[in-house]
């Protein structure tokens, strides 16, 4: 951690708010924005959180799911336990992880996974799409019909193809960039709702319009 980076983080209003409210990470505000806009999480749901460390999204998901709900978190990096959250240590895409998730389907799959940034944008974009596809592939196996997914990806020339793929699995696919995402970041979130089911036919892409630019999306929100 460089002194400059530490100083910038201390000035970050989302970082300060996360510290003040005990949210574990500033990323929690991204999920809260997605929840406010798309209403993905409800009491009593079974929720899967991929790339969960340090637990910011899992904590928010647990509070929204309530005592009757269940949150299962998956990551290679362990984090401080959260009461009411089940943690599975493993890599998304590993068949052993799927076995440990149990047979009961999930209502929502969340993925805030991102690659380690290399500095080569094309490489980082491609790796982010690979992670998103891993999340999508797992969701296809464990989501109940009618379920939802929120997955992070870096914008680039592969994003639209990923969105079309999601359109074969979900009745509606939207794209957004939360205000808590840094302005310099190319990250965006693809939201798939009303999962058609694991045996959904692969046909025409979703008829949703092309993803808005981050500026357009923030203005529309």
d(CA 148, CA 127): 23
Give domain status of residue 12, yes or no: no
pLDDT value for 25: 64
Nearest to 143 by CA among 188, 176, 98: 98
pLDDT value for 11: 55
3-state helix, strand, coil in the chain (%, to 5): 40, 25, 40
d(CA 150, CA 187): 13
Give domain status of residue 96, yes or no: yes
d(CA 28, CA 166): 24
pLDDT value for 22: 54
**Active site residue ranges:** 152
DSSP string across 165-195: HHHHHEEEEEEE--TTS-TT--EEEEEEEEE
Nearest to 33 by CA among 164, 174, 145: 174
The alpha carbon torsion through 203, 51, 188, 116 (nearest 10 deg) reads -110
Give domain status of residue 204, yes or no: yes
d(CA 133, CA 205): 16
Give domain status of residue 170, yes or no: yes
Give domain status of residue 4, yes or no: no
d(CA 141, CA 99): 11
Full domain range(s) for residue 69 = 25-220
pLDDT value for 206: 40
pTM summary value? 0.80
Give domain status of residue 2, yes or no: no
d(CA 34, CA 189): 9
Q: How many CA atoms lie within 13 A of 210 on its CB side?
A: 7
pLDDT value for 41: 98
> Under a CB-based contact definition with an 8 Å cutoff, are residues 70 and 101 in contact?
no
d(CA 111, CA 52): 8
Q: Number of structural domains, the chain?
A: 1
Exposed, middle or buried by CB within 10 Å (0-12, 13-18, 19+), for 153? buried
The 8-class DSSP code of residue 76 comes to S
- CATH number of the domain at 93, please: 3.40.50.150
pLDDT value for 21: 54
pLDDT means over runs of 10, the chain (221 residues)? 42 49 69 96 98 94 96 95 96 93 96 93 96 97 98 96 97 95 88 84 40 38 33
pLDDT value for 58: 96
pLDDT value for 13: 54
pLDDT value for 14: 44
pLDDT value for 218: 34
């Amino acid at each position: 951690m460089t002194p400059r980076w530490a100083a910038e983080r201390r000035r970050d209003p989302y970082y300060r708010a996360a510290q003040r409210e005990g949210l574990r990470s500033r990323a929690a505000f991204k999920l809260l924005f997605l929840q406010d806009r798309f209403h993905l999480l409800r009491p009593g749901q079974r929720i899967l959180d991929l790339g969960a460390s340090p637990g910011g999204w899992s904590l928010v998901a647990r509070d929204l799911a309530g005592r009757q709900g269940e949150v299962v978190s998956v990551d290679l990096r362990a984090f401080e336990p959260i009461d009411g959250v089940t943690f599975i240590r493993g890599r998304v895409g590993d068949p052993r992880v799927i076995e440990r998730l149990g047979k009961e389907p999930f209502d929502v799959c969340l993925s805030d996974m991102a690659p380690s940034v290399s500095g080569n944008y094309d490489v980082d974009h491609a790796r982010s799409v690979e992670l998103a596809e891993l999340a999508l592939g797992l969701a296809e196996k464990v989501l109940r019909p009618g379920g939802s997914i929120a997955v992070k990806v870096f914008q680039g020339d592969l994003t639209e193809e990923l969105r079309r793929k999601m359109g074969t699995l979900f009745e509606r696919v939207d794209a957004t960039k939360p205000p808590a995402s840094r302005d310099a970041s190319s990250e965006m979130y693809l939201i798939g709702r009303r999962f058609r089911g694991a045996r959904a036919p692969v046909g025409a892409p979703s008829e949703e319009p092309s993803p808005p630019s981050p500026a357009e999306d923030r203005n529309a929100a």
